[in-house]
Amino acid sequence: MAVDAAPPSIDDLLQHIRPAVRERSEYIVDMPEGIDVKLNQNESPFDLPEGLKQELLDAHTQVEMNRYPSEQPEALRQALADYDGVDPDQILVGNGSNEITYTFGLAFLDPGDPVVLPRPMFSLYEKVMRLQEAALTSVPPRDDLQFDADALAEAARATDAVLTILTTPNNPTGLAMTLDELEQVVTASSGFVVIDEAYVEFNPEGTAIELLEQHPNVLILRTLSKGFGLAGARLGYLLAHPAVVTELMKARLPFMVDRFAEQTALAVLRRPSLIEDRVSRIQASITALTEALQALDAVEVVPSQANFVLFTTPAPADALQDRLADRGVLVRNMGGYPELEGYLRVSAGTEAENNAFLAALEMSLSEIPAGTST
Ligand SMILES: Cc1ncc(COP(=O)(O)O)c(C=O)c1O
């Protein structure tokens, strides 16, 4: 006979969710109404050309929707290997590089394992490491906001870190590390070192791929969301030692890259001049944006090697962000990072978008008395 028990209350049920999850916040990017100029997520301002979209649509009609894709999209893996001059077994393709970051957490970290994270950096890393209950060592930046390679190398050595994360150029600063600095941290580490190259296409320092040859602990993470302008397709990939790729394949979800995304990336990779042209236009946009911001009274700009610019003004960042949004321009307030109080980050837009942003900024700055918070 079934016992008549009251169903568990939602509060009781929530107690079963791990504290490491309950303590986190959801990753939500604000999208207020009435935004015409969206410069808050380091996206490319350029959608795919219409002709290419039509070609993709036609190709998509051939896709067998009733069939699973393969565990790894092999044609894309080969194309990315050719693009980077490595072997396909050194590549793991993911549903955005964020998905691969989650796999790092699953594959590498038991609770209490030491992890070194520089500050300020892309917040997803800290979130994943905390979900895995890793023991975090957070390394502050130098006064110029650059990552402190000496301190990072020392922290990796002293804690015997299982994982150290570097991003170059870094989000949200836009600052890049040199190859020597990266190698300094890599050689000091007995564990893995992730080098996130999400913005590599814009970086005059170039890639750190050559470190892979000598250092099997190097994990290079890439995304097609920035220079390739495919944030909507969700594609990222890892370059690593084949044995590491094999182990990561055991931890990750299969079938994460769908057939549409694979075809889209292959079509773009077949057009290297499209990407080169767009990257150089975005670099020109960064130069123009930097110069225009520098010309404004009391605005300080961090020199960017990525596709966005970090800047500070005498006005409080939250009030300024709100005024810009009221004028239809969305940028990101970076004040949540302790080192970046007062800073905003703006993505490189088209010329028209940059002009709309700059006009809205000037008007907003003239309205907000310094020190007024919302
Ligand atoms: C440093 C860094 N890594 C990774 C990503 C996200 O990459 P994906 O879109 O491939 O998940 C971002 C996005 O802003 C980023 O700034």
Using CA atoms, how far apart are residues 351 and 38, in angstroms rounded to an integer? 13
Using CA atoms, how far apart are residues 308 and 312, in angstroms rounded to an integer? 14
Q: What domains appear along the chain, each with residue ranges and CATH number?
A: 27-42+273-367 (3.90.1150.10), 66-270 (3.40.640.10)
Helix (H, G, I), strand (E, B) or coil at 307: coil
Distance 190 CA to ligand 1 centre (A): 26
Judge if the beta carbon of residue 97 lies within 6 A of ligand 1: yes
What pLDDT is attached to residue 370?
60
Distance 312 CA to ligand 1 centre (A): 23
Distance 122 CA to ligand 1 centre (A): 8
pTM beyond 0.85:
yes
Reading the chain (374 residues) residue by residue, the pLDDT tens digits are 556 788 999 999 999 999 999 999 888 888 888 999 999 999 999 999 999 999 999 998 999 999 999 999 999 999 999 999 999 999 999 999 999 999 999 999 999 999 999 999 999 999 999 999 999 999 999 999 999 999 999 999 999 999 999 999 999 999 999 999 999 999 999 999 999 999 999 999 999 999 999 999 999 999 999 999 999 999 999 999 999 999 999 999 999 999 999 999 999 999 999 999 999 999 999 999 999 999 998 899 999 999 999 999 999 999 999 999 999 999 999 999 999 999 999 999 999 999 999 999 999 999 987 655 55
What pLDDT is attached to residue 5?
84
What pLDDT is attached to residue 351?
96
Distance 367 CA to ligand 1 centre (A): 34
Paired tokens of 342: 């007062």
Judge if the beta carbon of residue 203 lies within 6 A of ligand 1: no
Give the helix ranges, DSSP H, for the chain.
10-14, 19-22, 50-60, 74-84, 97-108, 123-131, 149-159, 179-188, 211-214, 242-251, 259-269, 272-294, 317-326, 351-367
Judge if the beta carbon of residue 114 lies within 6 A of ligand 1: no
What pLDDT is attached to residue 195?
98
Paired tokens of 360: 């809205």
Which ligand 1 atom sits nearest the alpha carbon of residue 223? 10
Judge if the beta carbon of residue 223 lies within 6 A of ligand 1: yes
Kindly report, residue by residue over 175-187, the tens digit of the pLDDT: 999 999 999 999 9
What pLDDT is attached to residue 1?
54
At 26, give phi and psi (nearest 5°): -70, 150
Distance 347 CA to ligand 1 centre (A): 14
Report the nearest-CA residue for atom 2 of ligand 1: 198
Among candidate residues 363, 330, 364, the one with its CA nearest the CA of residue 344: 330
Judge if the beta carbon of residue 304 lies within 6 A of ligand 1: no
CB neighbourhood size of 307 (10 A): 27
In the numeric block, the tokens 């590390």 are attached to 177
What pLDDT is attached to residue 314?
93
Report the residue among 38, 44, 76, 98 best suited for mutation to probe ligand 1: largest number of ligand atoms under 8 A from its CB: 98
